[in-house]
Structure 1
Amino acid sequence: MLYELIGIVRPGNLAEVKEIVSTTGALILRERGVIRGLSNWGVFSLPSSTSKHQMRHSTGHYFAMRYDASVETQKSVSSVLRNDPRMIRHTSVKLGDGKLDTMSRIAAIGWQRLGMGDEKRV
């Protein structure tokens, strides 16, 4: 199955984001999954202030990862991210069933920088 993971990490330390992404990627690869793409979107304001792990957050470091994996692997990824205190939010969306005709219709995410931290989906 093809999944897209969008994660929001507490801002301030890029090394934390890299560590979370590498841990998640290693888990996917260990379970015989394939990582199709990785995007670092940077730090943006959250839509609303959020409390997570007894901390209040108004900004977060966003990243996106596309990967092919089994349902069990996706559940493991979700569990690992849910228990990590550095994560503010994450979500995984199933994009396809792994068949070539389905995957050929799914394009890369395009983002256009507008300035001042605002972004618009293209």
Structure 2
Amino acid sequence: MLYELIAIVRPGSVQEVREIARTAGLQVLRSGGVIRGYTNWGTFRLPRPTTKHQARYTEGHHFIMRFDASAPAQAAVQRTLGLDPRMIRFSIIKLGNKLEEIRDVPGTVEWNQNQRLTDAI
């Protein structure tokens, strides 16, 4: 099954982001999964201030990881990230489970810079 992890890490060191991404990736690889790709979007303002582990955050470092893995492996990644105090928020989305659905999905997710805020309104 193809999954997409969208993660927001506390801002600061890029080394922390790499370490979290590496931990999640190693967990997928150890369970027999495949990493399709990572995309680092950098630091952005959060839609609203968020409190996590008694700290208040207004910005977060975003990254995306696409991976193929079994459902138990995905649950293990979710459990590990939920326990990490450096994580502000994350979400794992299932993109598909049949080969016809997922064979053309690229590993990276590009930021859509074509649409402006004024165009969307």
Cα distance in 1 for partners of 2:102, 2:66 equals 12
Q: Deviations over 1:20-64 (max 9, x none)?
A: 000110110000010011100000000000000110000000000
Runs of 4+ in 1 over 2 A off after TM superposition: 104-110
Q: Which residue of 2 aligns with 1:57?
A: 57
Asked if 1:103 is matched to 2:102, the reply is yes
Computed over aligned residues only, the root mean square deviation of the Cα atoms, in angstroms, reads 1.6
* 2:53 alignment partner AA: H
Q: Which residue of 1 aligns with 2:43?
A: 43
Which residues of structure 1 form unaligned runs of 5+? none
Q: CA deviation at 1:113?
A: 4.5
Which residues of structure 2 form unaligned runs of 5+? none
Asked if 1:73 is matched to 2:77, the reply is no
Q: Which residue of 1 aligns with 2:10?
A: 10
Report which of the two has the higher share of strand. Answer: 1
Cα distance in 1 for partners of 2:104, 2:26 equals 27
Q: Deviations over 1:47-98 (max 9, x none)?
A: 000000110000000000000011101110000000000000000000010x
Task: Assess if the C-alpha contact under 8 Å between 2:64 and 2:109 holds in 1.
Answer: no
Q: CA deviation at 1:105?
A: 4.9
